[in-house]
Structure 1
């Protein structure tokens, strides 16, 4: 009976080696998914903090305008002559002056 029991049990193949593929997947996941997202969030927050009067912007809804006033969480945007709207900083998509293509003549 003891002989049969010893034949059926196999030696374990190391605990760390069985978790190594999962550990590698987690490291790859961090560098390709989590880290770029954190960097994007930091850049977006920095962009929102650096908004100032006179910046030309595009909102997430596609409205072009010029910032005429900056508050803590909102900005006042002039979208046409004497037409101003108040929007949250989070809804600003990008700065228009950064996306103008340069033409070589």
Structure 2
């Protein structure tokens, strides 16, 4: 009889974890994969926004960094980790 009581007390925790997984963990993983795919697909001419709020144009994607143009005179390299999103035209 104790085994049935143990399973009955464990069931709400399992249900709570399942709800937490489908409402929090899974959507976050999906969003992270989409962001990584966007960063991997960046090409010359794409406009991006950095985590600092700078709007840049991609000049040359490199392995760990991306060369971006802030204006006509300033070209810098930023880490791929600091790209917030791509601006769609």
CA RMSD of aligned residues (A): 1.5
* Alignment partner, residue 69 of structure 2: 78
Q: Return the structure number with greater relative CO, CA threshold 8 A, min gap 6.
A: 2
How far did residue 40 of structure 1 move? 1.1
* Alignment partner, residue 82 of structure 2: 91
1:46 aligns with 2:37: yes
Within 5 Å, which residues of 2 pair with 1:1-105?
A: 12=2, 14=4, 15-97=6-88
* Alignment length (residue pairs): 88
Distance 2:26 2:88 in 1: 28
Superposition misfits of 4+ residues, deviation over 3 angstroms: none
What stretches of structure 1 of length at least 5 have no aligned partner? Answer: 1-10, 99-105
